[in-house]
Amino acid sequence: MMSTATSASLNGDVISMEIGEDYADIRASVRRVCADFPDEYWSRKDEAEAYPTEFINALTGAGFLAALIPEEYGGTGLPLRAAAVIMEEICAAGCHAAAGHAQMYIMGTILRHGSDEQKRRYLPGIAAGKLRLQAFGVTEPTTGSDTTQIKTRATRSADGYVLNGQKVWTSRAEHSDLMLVLARTTPANEVAKRIDGISTFLIDIHACLGKGLEIRPIKAMVNHHATEVFFDNLHIPANALVGAEGKGFRYILDGMNAERMITAAEALGSTRWFLRAATQYANDRVVFGRPIGANQGIQFPLAQAHIQSEAADMMIRRATALFESGKPCGAEANMARYLAAEGLWNAAEACMQTHGGFGFAREYHIERKWREARLARIAPISTNLILANIAQHTLGLPRSY
């Protein structure tokens, strides 16, 4: 498909977007890498609940996970749209992008808010694959999505901080060298705004294990390598602090917008995988003397999912264009994520229904992808939270309780 440039006006500002198959060379390169990791590879990893180390090494070797790291630190310095394309193509090929996606948006916190010393110390190693930054400790058992109410505390010590608390659903902590952690440095009742008094820390997992850091795996429906993380009087150095103390919540907002867009692109790619699998099966499967794809009960759900995927694609492009232009993009990032998650779930359901009983057979790989698709409506953000955010902050409706 040819790529055509167009422009969209937003409050007088012109935002350039590409229509069609943008970044064709990158897409082709991603497809070549993914071709070495067919469905059978992912089924084996899923059954063994194993981390796809070979796949992550291949992505790293090709430079894809360093796409957003500037060239001066060993990366390729590509825009967020290119990173979204990489993740989209990984999922469209049937691979599992979530095993490596966190590095892209977590790294942005260091890049935008870290010290020069932190950038020089960590970014080249991350770009080269010598260091993995895949773990993001934010969610807690008692606070869930209300990040301003986190209980994990970082108390000043003579030479740094002492960390106490617990995180949950921290994916890939057992397969990462570094972890970004959000903790309160000032109690919530001592700050003017709930978002104040929260700080961001970058900790060395290997140096901390057994010294106040404990990681426990969580068995779950999907193979996302989820863990609980416990901090028990963990001493961390002062240079673990990213940016200014008490400003950490603001620092992660840009990262969250990038996360929304990247994971929306993943959902879009998986939607296309489902549509391709379902369409082929619907054309090939003959019942009562004709392909089942001739039935409107098969056609309409697939057509609906396709339409939703095209809408999600355009919103992802708009959101990433705004992000790269330095414009406010929170609403667009959320809407892209919502459209992509809903479209993915509808495509997964339609594909499962199209395959009927065979959809439950592991050899078709539908059930594995179907389980992954269900997660998209919950993590990294619930679709209900997105609706509440748009209702209150975009439409101006009263805050819900």
Domains located in the chain, CATH noted: 4-128 (1.10.540.10), 133-247 (2.40.110.10), 250-394 (1.20.140.10)
Task: Provide mean pLDDT across the span 108-136.
Answer: 95
Cα distance between residue 64 and residue 203, in whole Å? 24
Cα 34 from chain centroid (whole Å): 18
Instruction: Give percent above pLDDT 90 in the chain.
Output: 87
Task: Provide mean pLDDT across the span 274-289.
Answer: 98
Cα distance between residue 327 and residue 304, in whole Å? 31
Task: Provide mean pLDDT across the span 79-84.
Answer: 96
* pLDDT score for 255: 82
- Characterize the bridge pairing of strands 133-137 and 178-184: parallel
Q: Which two tokens stand for residue 373?
A: 């698709």
**pLDDT tens, position by position, 330-389:** 999 999 999 999 999 999 999 999 999 999 999 999 999 999 999 999 999 999 999 999
Four-residue CA torsion sign, 183, 185, 189, 192: negative
Residue 5 has pLDDT above 80, yes or no: no
Cα distance between residue 386 and residue 331, in whole Å? 9
Residue 4 has pLDDT above 60, yes or no: no
Cα distance between residue 239 and residue 201, in whole Å? 9
Mean pLDDT rounded to a whole number for the chain? 93
Cα distance between residue 103 and residue 304, in whole Å? 33
**pLDDT tens, position by position, 200-245:** 999 999 999 999 999 999 999 988 899 999 999 999 999 999 999 9
Model confidence band, residue 134 (pLDDT cutoffs 50, 70, 90): very high
Spell out the residues 6+ positions from residue 12 whose beta carbon is closer than 8 angstroms to its own.
none
Cα distance between residue 41 and residue 52, in whole Å? 9
Helix crossing, 102-113 with 248-284: angle to 10°?
A: 160
What DSSP letter does each residue of 305-346 carry, written as one string?
Answer: HHHHHHHHHHHHHHHHHHHHTT---HHHHHHHHHHHHHHHHH
The DSSP output letter for 98 is G
Spell out the residues 6+ positions from residue 367 whose beta carbon is closer than 8 angstroms to its own.
352, 359, 360, 361
Spell out the residues 6+ positions from residue 312 whose beta carbon is closer than 8 angstroms to its own.
264, 267, 268, 271, 336, 339, 340, 343
* pLDDT score for 1: 40
- Characterize the bridge pairing of strands 286-287 and 227-237: unpaired
Cα separation values, 312 from 133, 244, 305, 306, 336, Å:
28, 36, 10, 10, 6
Residue 55 has pLDDT above 80, yes or no: yes
SS3 108: helix
Model confidence band, residue 3 (pLDDT cutoffs 50, 70, 90): low
CA angle 9, 265, 199 (to 5 degrees): 90
Better pLDDT: 108 or 153: 153
Under 8 Å between Cβ of 258 and 104: yes
Alpha helices in 161-247 (DSSP H): 205-208
Q: Which of 156, 217, 149 is nearest to 187 (CA)?
A: 149
Residue 100 has pLDDT above 70, yes or no: yes
Model confidence band, residue 253 (pLDDT cutoffs 50, 70, 90): confident
Q: Which of 354, 335, 336 is nearest to 346 (CA)?
A: 354
Burial class (CB in 10 A: 0-12, 13-18, 19+), 258: buried
